[in-house]
C-alpha cells in the first residue's frame, strides 16, 4: 500500500482558501491545474469536500440516502471521483499521488470488467478454482459472516500482473452462491467499492466454508487500506 506523504504547500493553501480555485458550482469554475478529473455535474465542490471531510473524521457518520444514491449514479460519476480526491488530500496524500491513485483505480476497474467478461464466457479459469463469480452489493438477512482475515494475493482475480487483496469469510454453504451479497458497515468503504466495482466484487470459493472476495490494490488503498476494509466487510446470504 502506498505510504502517506505530506500535503504540498499549494494544496494546503487551496484548502485554507476554501478551494476557491476549484469552482463553486456543479460545473462552473476551473479545475485545478494539471488535473485530469472531469468537473463535477451534480454537487458543488464545497459539498463534495464536506462529504470527504466527514468521511475522514468519522467514516461511520453516514450521509443521507439521497446523497449516496446520487453519488453512486452514472450521471454523478465525476462527483464521486472528486469526493475521493478530497478524501485522499485530507488523508495526507499530495495532489499528484491522489491523481495517481484515482487513475490506478480506473485502470483496475477496466481490468476487473474484462476479467468478469472472460469468466462469464469461460475464457479464463482463475487460480482460485470453483464457484468463482461476481458478488453484488446487498443486505439480505438470511445469514451473515464478517471478514476474519486478509492477505495479499497476486492471482486471486486470475491476472498475476497486478497485486490484489483476498478477504476471507468463514460461512456455511447455504446453496446457490448467486444469493450471496457483500455489504460494508463503513459508508466510505462501501461508497468506494461501489464506485470502483459497480458490477460486483469478485468472489471465489463461494461453495466452500471458506469464502473469499478479491479486491484490487488501488481500490483497497483509497477505501482506507486492507485493515479498514477487512473490519467493515460482511458477506450475507438471503
- Do 191 and 80 form a contact (C-beta atoms < 8 A)? yes
Are 217 and 140 within one domain? yes
| Measured distance CA(101)–CA(78) in Å, rounded | 15
**Residue 103, in any domain of the structure:** no
Residue 4 lies in a domain: no
Considering the domain architecture, whether residues 70 and 118 belong to the same structural domain is answered as: no
Residue 102 in domain? no
Q: Which of 97, 125, 146 is the last residue of a domain?
A: 97
Which residues span the domain enclosing 157?
108-237
Residues 80 and 163 in one domain: no
- Burial of 70 per CB tally in 10 Å (0-12, 13-18, 19+): middle
Distance CA 104, CA 218 (A): 6
Question: Is there a single domain that holds both residue 138 and residue 159?
Answer: yes
88 shares its domain with 126 = no
The set of residues, in sequence order, having a beta carbon less than 8 Å from that of 29 and lying 6+ positions away, is: 21, 22, 23, 39, 45
Both 212 and 133 in one domain: the answer is: yes
Same domain, 20 and 42: yes
Domain boundary among 52, 74, 97: 97
> Do 112 and 218 share a domain, yes or no?
yes
Low-confidence ranges of the chain (pLDDT < 50): 1-34, 128
Residues 193 and 148 in one domain: yes
Total number of domains constituting the chain: 2
In which residue are the cell numbers 473469499 written? 212
The reply to whether 70 falls in a domain is yes
pLDDT for 234: 93
pLDDT at 126: 52
> How many whole angstroms separate alpha carbon 233 and alpha carbon 168?
10
What is the SS3 assignment for 84-131? HHHHHHHCCCCHHHHHHHHHHHHHHHHHHHHHHHHHHHCCCCCCCCCC
Tell me the three cell numbers of residue 170.
Answer: 468463514
Looking at the structure, tell me whether residues 85 and 116 fall in a common domain.
Answer: no
Query: Where among 42, 69, 97 does a domain terminate?
Result: 97
Amino acid at each position: 500500500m502506498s505510504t502517506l506523504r505530506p500535503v504540498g504547500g499549494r494544496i494546503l493553501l487551496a484548502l485554507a482558501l476554501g478551494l476557491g480555485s476549484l469552482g463553486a458550482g456543479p460545473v462552473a469554475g476551473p479545475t485545478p491545474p494539471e488535473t485530469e478529473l472531469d468537473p463535477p455535474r451534480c454537487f458543488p465542490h464545497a459539498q463534495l469536500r464536506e462529504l470527504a471531510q466527514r468521511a475522514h473524521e468519522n467514516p461511520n457518520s453516514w450521509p443521507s440516502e439521497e446523497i449516496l444514491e446520487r453519488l453512486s449514479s452514472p450521471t454523478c460519476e465525476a462527483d464521486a471521483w472528486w469526493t475521493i480526491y478530497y478524501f485522499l488530500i485530507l488523508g495526507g496524500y499530495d495532489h499528484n499521488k491522489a491523481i495517481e491513485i484515482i487513475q490506478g483505480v480506473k485502470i483496475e476497474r477496466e481490468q476487473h470488467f474484462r476479467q468478469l467478461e472472460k469468466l462469464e464466457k469461460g475464457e479464463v479459469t482463475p487460480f482460485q478454482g470453483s464457484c468463482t463469480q461476481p458478488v453484488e452489493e446487498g443486505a439480505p438477512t438470511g445469514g451473515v459472516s464478517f471478514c476474519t482475515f486478509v492477505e495479499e494475493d497476486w492471482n486471486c482475480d486470475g491476472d498475476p500482473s497486478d497485486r490484489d487483496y483476498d478477504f476471507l469469510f468463514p460461512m456455511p454453504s447455504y446453496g446457490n452462491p448467486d444469493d450471496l451479497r457483500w455489504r460494508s458497515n463503513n459508508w466510505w468503504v462501501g461508497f468506494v467499492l461501489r464506485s470502483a466495482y459497480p458490477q460486483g466484487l469478485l468472489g471465489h470459493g463461494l461453495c466452500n466454508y471458506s469464502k473469499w472476495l478479491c479486491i484490487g490494490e488501488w481500490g483497497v488503498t483509497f477505501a482506507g487500506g486492507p485493515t479498514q476494509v477487512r473490519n467493515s466487510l460482511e458477506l450475507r446470504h438471503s
